[in-house]
């Protein structure tokens, strides 16, 4: 059983269904297993940050005010279930002109480090994409690839040198691994 300074969560495909660009709260749905899994992990003493690329804003597919509604919903769900969410960090960069904030860049993680005095080497990133795992590698964090969302594709494309700390079916199995 390992307690992390912070567990970073990707959003789309990791904690919620990813039908593409989610431009309305009506299209946002947490996976059924997410709240019970995060409650279990939180009981160990872990806290969370969400780090999410949201290029749909730069593409004009998502309005910032709608993104705020979605993120406020997430914050309220975490509060309601006593899951300690420190913050949600979003990057709106278009993939054709990314800054270091856009994963696999480390900017959002460094912002969290500065905001909450985190030791990133004692943190975990959980995501469904190679870019999530790559960001974790850059920061010497533990990494967990979930096979929900784009996870199966990411797992097939990883090289031997890119093995995540954990590969799990979903966040529910990830919670079981972390709570052993």
pLDDT (tens digit, 9 = 90+) per residue, 128-172?
999 999 999 999 999 999 999 999 999 998 888 889 999 999 999
CA 70/CA 76 separation, integer angstroms: 10
Please give the positions annotated as active site: 10, 12
Q: Give the pLDDT of residue 161.
A: 83
83 touches 39 (CB < 8 A): yes
Domain count, the chain: 1
89 touches 49 (CB < 8 A): yes
CATH of the domain at 148: 3.40.50.1000
Q: Is 7 part of a structural domain of the chain? A: no
CA 49/CA 126 separation, integer angstroms: 10
Q: Is 4 part of a structural domain of the chain? A: no
Q: Is 1 part of a structural domain of the chain? A: no
Q: Give the pLDDT of residue 10.
A: 98
The reply to whether the predicted model has a pTM over 0.85 is yes
| Mean pLDDT score, 79-84 | 98
Containing domain of residue 62, as a range? 12-18+27-178
Cis upstream peptide for 128 (omega within 30°) = no
Q: Is 111 part of a structural domain of the chain? A: yes
């Amino acid at each position: 059983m390992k307690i992390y300074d912070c567990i970073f969560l990707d959003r789309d495909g990791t904690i919620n269904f990813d039908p593409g660009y989610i431009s309305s709260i009506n299209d946002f749905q947490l996976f059924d297993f997410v709240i019970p899994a995060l409650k279990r992990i939180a009981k160990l003493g872990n806290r969370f940050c969400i780090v999410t690329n949201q290029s749909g804003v730069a593409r004009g597919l998502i309005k910032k005010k709608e993104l705020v509604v979605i993120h406020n919903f997430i914050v309220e769900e975490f509060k309601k279930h006593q899951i300690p969410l420190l913050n949600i960090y979003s990057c709106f960069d278009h993939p054709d002109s990314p800054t270091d904030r856009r994963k696999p860049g480390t900017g959002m993680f460094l912002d969290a480090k500065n905001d909450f005095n985190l030791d990133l080497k004692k943190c975990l990133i959980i995501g469904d994409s190679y870019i999530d795992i790559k960001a974790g590698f850059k920061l010497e964090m533990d990494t967990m690839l979930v096979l929900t969302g784009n996870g199966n594709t990411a797992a097939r494309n990883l090289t031997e040198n890119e093995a995540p700390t954990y590969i799990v079916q979903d966040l529910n199995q990830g919670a079981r691994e972390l709570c052993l």
